[in-house]
Amino acid sequence: MKYIIIIFLLFLFLASCDTKDITYPQKSNLKLFINEIMADNQTTVPDENNEFDDWVELLNNDDHTINLKGFLLKNNTKIYKVNSNLEIAPGEYLIFWCDGDSSDNHTNFELSAVSDKIVLFDDENKIIDKLEFTDLETDVSFGRIPDGGEELGFLYPTPGTENPNPNAYYIVINEFMASNNVTVFDPDFNNAGDWIEFYNPTDTFADISGWFLTDDPAVPDKWKIPGATAVEAKGYLLVWCDQMDGQPDSVKTALHTNFTLQKHGEFIQLSRNDGIIEDSLTYDEQTTDISYGRLPDGSDNWQILENPTPGFANQ
Q: What separation in angstroms does the CA of 86 have from each of 31, 105, 293? A: 16, 8, 52
**pTM above 0.95?**
no
Cα distance between residue 75 and residue 57, in whole Å: 14
**Domain end: 161, 180, 206, which one?**
161
118 and 181 share a domain? no
* Domain extent for 73: 32-161
The answer as to whether 21 is a domain residue is: no
Cα distance between residue 132 and residue 106, in whole Å: 20
Instruction: Tell me what pLDDT residue 22 has.
Output: 40
Instruction: Tell me what pLDDT residue 10 has.
Output: 45
**pLDDT tens, the chain, 315 aa long:** 444 444 444 444 444 444 344 445 789 999 999 999 999 999 889 999 999 999 999 999 999 999 999 999 999 999 999 999 999 999 999 999 999 998 889 999 999 999 999 999 999 999 999 999 999 989 989 999 889 999 898 888 999 999 988 778 899 999 999 999 999 999 999 999 999 999 999 998 899 999 999 999 999 999 999 988 999 999 999 999 999 998 887 778 999 999 999 999 999 999 998 899 999 999 999 999 999 999 999 999 999 999 999 999 999
The answer as to whether 12 is a domain residue is: no
Q: What separation in angstroms does the CA of 201 have from each of 149, 160, 259, 309? A: 25, 25, 26, 16
End-to-end Cα distance, the chain: 96
Please state the domain count of the chain. 2
Cβ neighbours of residue 304 closer than 8 Å, sequence gap 6 or more? 287, 290, 291, 292
Instruction: Tell me what pLDDT residue 24 has.
Output: 52
Instruction: Tell me what pLDDT residue 227 has.
Output: 85
In this structure, what CATH number is given to the domain that contains residue 140?
Answer: 2.60.40.1260
75 and 198 share a domain? no
Question: CA dihedral in degrees (79, 84, 87, 88; nearest 10)?
Answer: -30
144 and 178 share a domain? no
152 and 281 share a domain? no
190 and 155 share a domain? no
The answer as to whether 113 is a domain residue is: yes
